[in-house]
Amino acid sequence: MNASTARALFVGLLVAVWVYVSEVARVRLSPWAPLVALGCYFAAGGGLSGLQKALFGTISGVAWVLVTEAVLLAIGGTRIVAALIWGAMACAIMFQSRVPFLSFTAGAFAGAGVALGLSVNTVNEGIRAAIALAVGVLLGFAAERLAGAVAARRA
């Protein structure tokens, strides 16, 4: 079995285990959010570098949504004000790419999208979203390491 096939099988197995555990154990985490982070992990190139980029990127997106929600709550205003604040958030995500460990912009937007999809507007909800995203990144990392171990063992 080559490394690519092993990686695909381990990703499938670990995702199945996650979804089962999250549903059976009634873990208060989204079963779908880790899939977004899993995709970000592989899009970031995998390995330890991909783990860092995807983890920091996706979680920063959640943080930006929390900041944006807090500003909206503090300022209030019309729809145009809200639209401008969300635009400022998108601009801030683009600017954060200047910081090396926050340079994975796609991950930040994916994390923000997950936070919006989960209707995150409190710190506790943000923490749950961040944990779900971290689970997805770790699933990708684990699948890649397990696949590498199987491939090395067979060689």
The model's pLDDT over 11-52, given as tens digits with 9 standing for 90+, comes to: 999 999 999 988 888 888 888 999 999 999 999 999 999 999
Q: Residue 71: give the domain boundaries.
A: 3-154
Query: pTM for this structure?
Result: 0.92
Q: How far apart are CA 102 and CA 108, in angstroms?
A: 8
- Side chain identity, residue 59: I
Q: How far apart are CA 56 and CA 73, in angstroms?
A: 26
Domain count, the chain: 1
pLDDT in tens, 117-134: 999 999 999 999 999 999
